[in-house]
Structure 1
Amino acid sequence: MAYNMAGWIGCLTAAAGFTLGAGFTRMLLPPFCRMLEKSGCVRPNYRGERISTGSGAVLILAFLLTVCLLVLFEKWSGFPALADSEDSEPMLVLAFGMGFLGILDDTVGSREASGLKGHVMKWIRHGELTTGLLKAVGGTVLSFLIVMDGVDESFRWSIGNLLSIVVDGCVIALLANWINLLDVRPGRALKGAMGKLILLLFAVPSELTVFLLAIFGTMVAYLPADIRARTMMGDAGSNFLGAMIGYLVVRSFDLPGTVTVLTALLAVHLYTEKHSLTRVIERTGWLNWLDRLGRKDVRMERDDLGLEETLQEQAR
């Protein structure tokens, strides 16, 4: 049975995805944050305030519950939902895998090394495996495994097809890291991810709309707590969101489109290795307005900027 999102059934399913994603997030977030605080999963935010971190795992749980519930509903009722979608399994695996790596870094990760180079040198010089290196390597491997899993029996090995696999895998991995780099100010990563999903809404294949709206629903429900600096998503949330966006990108565009996205990602990653992302945002009027929208602390002191730059280094 072909799954068609064009009709009213598709609209109802997409609406259900958004509603369930938002509902599960709203329900799970408060007790999850209390659990993190009691277990000591707290870190200083950009203002030096110690708040719970890693609560972005709620986004993953809400997404998994939403997809599973829609699949079960279809199996039980026969009403078309997600069971016939070829994207259900890879998206769930990617969400769980990226989320696990992020949670690992949030809970037991050290901030002694920063940047990919720092983690690699820690391994070479001292033989120490950091969670940052594990996250980078594991996330990249998982991204390529997901891309390879999408190769069907009619696939023929050629330079063009091999290039497509490499580009798609890199796009997923780098987008996961890019959202992580944005997550140094309340609401910044979520706003960036939401903007990308809104743009993708006009490009994704129809059968992916329900997944996109389910993810969007989780972010809408999570945003108030994040933008008010009550909790931090951590790598669990940013890795998940970036990887999901990356998957939607590679499923939405052909090779020229994904190459364009990859080029942009490489450019911004290289730039942020040497420059402060916040300084760029502060000097760009519309970006600065959007970044501060909804935040109470509209003034940024010099000391806050220094701490933010440190957090950005740790996020790399």
Structure 2
Amino acid sequence: MGFAASVFGSADGGARRATGRLAAAALGAVAARAAFSAARRAVATDGPARDPKMWNRVNHRGEPVTLLEGPAYAAGAAAALAVVPGVPAPLRAAAVGAAVGAGAFGVYDDLRGNADRRGMRGHLKALAKGELTTGGVKILGIGGVGLLAGALVRRGPQDTLVDKLLAGVTVAAAANAVNLLDLRPGRAIKGAAFAAAPALLRSSETAGVGAVRWAGLGAALALLPEDLDERAMLGDAGANALGAVLGTAAAASASSRAALAGRAAVLTAVTLASEKVSFTKVIAGCPPLRALDGLGRRA
């Protein structure tokens, strides 16, 4: 029996599957921590291109935080996904591409973003008028990343162009949905973990898809302490990359076109709702959500 099979197990190897999932999460965590340490060392060196001020932002308390958590997540998750055993080649390529692509467009918006347009609707209105905002670049870029990932994971004999498009929407909408939560410390990572929990605990999850989910979420959880302590934040780079990785797993694991359409519809509805509803106000007004949102955060 090969290494991948011995670690990730077959359908009836519950213990081996659990071990494999934990190994994938640990691999993601180690890679993310290493990437974060390397990023902090890099910006500490001299040179205008590595100016630490470039990566600093002011949070909701008016305190400085670093954006390096985002690129560190994207790089760490991509590295872990590239080597974690038991993942089929098309799914591996889609997951790595989703992390790198969504992370790269997120970095661009983090560093070059203009605040004169807000929300998906604002950027799309600007595009309709022939104005390409940084947010518009990110929308188009992550949309393309999602379509590519969707085409890679829906390659079965029953999958048509419709399935590939629905998968692409799922990946891109998941990237945006997680980013919508990145308004308070730890919220995006907690929200992603909560949304992925049913699939993470599903015994019927295939080894490859499970490895993608656990590696992607393990990388995020490893960076949660700095996020909760308000020393770092995911920013667009990390939140978009995290959502895209989990969206890729969601698109790959859908058992039917109806299930795929349902996932795409729910995630798109979240984006549309954000144009009208403040998620922060909704969370503040719901005691259970408010307690979960504040868990582990500074008083």
State the TM-score, normalizing by the size of structure 1: 0.80
Instruction: Give me the CA root mean square deviation.
Output: 2.5
List structure 1 runs of 4+ shifted beyond 6 angstroms. Answer: none
CA 1:18–1:295: 2 relative to 1, 3 Å? same
Aligned residue identity for 2:32: T
Q: Letter of the aligned partner of 2:162 in structure 1?
A: L
Tell me whether 1:247 sits opposite 2:229 in the alignment: no
Corresponding residue of 1:291: 293
- Give the superposition deviation at 1:55: 2.0
Task: Look up the match of 1:47.
Answer: 61
SS at match of 2:185: coil
Say yes or no: does 1:97 pair with 2:101. Answer: yes
Q: Secondary structure at the match of 2:117?
A: coil
The structure 2 residue matched to 1:131, chosen from 127, 130, 134, is: 134
- Correspondence for 1:192: 191
Larger Rg: 1
Q: Does 1:176 align with 2:175?
A: yes
Separation in structure 1 between the aligned mates of residue 270 and residue 131 of structure 2, nearest angstrom: 29
Q: CA deviation at 1:85?
A: 4.4
Residue pair 1:99, 1:237 contacting (<8 A) in 2 also: yes
Q: After TM superposition, list the pairs within 5 Å mapping 1:1-316 onto structure 2.
A: 5-6=9-10, 7=13, 10-33=17-40, 35=43, 38-70=52-84, 81-82=85-86, 85-125=89-129, 127-152=130-155, 154=157, 161-201=160-200, 202=202, 204-253=205-254, 254-297=256-299
| Structure 1 position 239, deviation (Å) | 0.7
Structure 2 unmatched runs, 5+:
44-49
Q: CA deviation at 1:164?
A: 2.4
- 2:177 alignment partner, SS class: helix
1:314 is matched with none
Write the deviation string for residues 118-164 of structure 1: whole angstroms up to 9, x where unpaired: 22333454x542221011011112211222234548457xxxx3432
Which amino acid in the other structure matches residue 27 of structure 1?
Answer: A
CA deviation profile, 1:72-93 (whole Å, cap 9, x unmatched): xxxxxxxxx2475441112111
* Counterpart position of 1:304: none
Identity %: 30
User: Counterpart of 1:144 in structure 2: which amino acid?
Assistant: L
Q: Is the 8 A contact 1:54 1:106 kept in 2?
A: no
Residue 180 (structure 1) shift:
0.5
AA aligned opposite 2:138? K
SS at match of 1:184: coil
TM-score w.r.t. length of structure 2 = 0.84
Distance, in Å, in 2 between the alignment partners of 1:214 and 1:68 is 10
Worse overlay, 175-184 or 19-28: 19-28
Measure, in 1, the Cα distance between the counterparts of 2:157 and 2:243.
30
| Gap runs ≥5 in structure 1 | 71-80, 298-316
Tell me how far apart the structure 1 counterparts of residues 131 and 16 of structure 2 sit (CA, whole Å). 53
Q: Which moved more, 1:201-210 or 1:235-244?
A: 201-210
Distance in 2 (alpha carbons) for counterparts of 1:30 and 1:150: 32
Q: Do 1:24 and 1:62's aligned partners in 2 also have CA atoms closer than 8 Å? A: yes
Aligned length: 282
